[in-house]
Amino acid sequence: MKPNFGILFLAMFFWGVIISSCGKKQDSPQPANSFGTTSISTTPSDKGWTFEGTPFFADEFNSIGKPDSTKWTYDIGGGGWGNNELEYYTNLAGNASVSNGVLSINAKKEAYNGQGYTSARLVSKGLGSMLYGRVEVSAKLPSGRGLWPAVWMLSDNDAYGSWPKSGEIDVMENVGYDPGPVYFTIHTQLYNGAIGTQKGASKNIADASTAFHRYRMDWTPYAVRGYYDDALVFTYINNGNGPAAWPFDQKFHLLLNVAVGGNWGGIKGVDDSSFPTGMQVDYVHFYKMIDK
């Protein structure tokens, strides 16, 4: 997204003004919790936390058929999802299926419930949720202008209010019209895509759509860190200024989806010749943090 200084401003403008895809949930807004602006906490020190070697939540996708219902539910619906997206998310096997050790989240060009495309958005809420730990997802991304795949996290209970007050962690985002950069981003009340203050970084992964890569988040009371193929990409440190900057002291869950179009993904339109296409996921692992 930043190939030269000539388009740097435009690229950062578009990234800044959108609400991350992932972004805003479609649910009705909730009343803000005053803790989101008034609570002050002590800046933690980095204790060098480590993580257990065996995941407490894992899906290797070794079954055949629809995703394991003991690990995943679905967000279902259309209406744009707060980002002017064009797909209708379903729970149909044609949009999310497992075979040959891989989960496929498939986006299709088809009319469905008033939308022109279908896809799927899998959710681990209540089945795979965590407070501090490591998340690692091995995935191969779709290619095509107008696609917007994401691996991301939201809070279970919106303890500090509706988005963005309770936070969002985008472990991986990519847009098909500019497929090289892969983005790790956080959103909070103070720092979010709706007002162009989100915090994040990107790494160019030339073969993201032809090979599996590891997208990882290490989350401790001190920081959220993003790694791609074990290389550190981004660090966001808890500055001790409370939930407006650090809402990441509550349980979060994972979401896996492929959006079509939208405020970011659809900036340059949609190439219908790309469909059907999808994101493939080899595994999902959650590891507990070892407290000190």
pLDDT of the residue at 242: 96
**Of 85, 87, 136, 173, catalytic:** 173
Reply yes or no on whether 60 is catalytic: no
Check 85, 87, 136, 168 and give the catalytic one.
Answer: 168
pLDDT of residue 255: 98
Q: Which residue has the tokens 């919790």?
A: 33
- Looking at every residue in the chain, the average pLDDT score rounds to 89
Q: pTM for the full model?
A: 0.88
pLDDT > 60? residue 38: no
Per the CB < 8 A criterion, the answer to whether 255 and 78 are in contact is no
Average pLDDT over residues 245-260: 98
Quick count: other Cβ atoms within 10 Å of Cβ 239?
A: 12
For residue range 207-249, list pLDDT tens digits in order: 999 999 999 999 999 999 999 999 999 999 999 999 999 999 9
pLDDT category at 42 given cuts 50, 70, 90 is confident
Residue 12 has pLDDT above 80, yes or no: no
Note if 52 is an active site residue: no
pLDDT above 50 for 16 = no
Q: Give the integer Cα–Cα distance in Å for 257 and 210.
A: 18
Report domain extents, the chain: 5-24+47-290
Alpha-carbon distance of 42 to 102, in angstroms, equals: 43
The CATH fold assigned to 5-24+47-290 is Jelly Rolls (2.60.120)
Task: Determine which helix (DSSP H) or strand (DSSP E) holds 11, and give its type and residue range.
Answer: helix 5-17
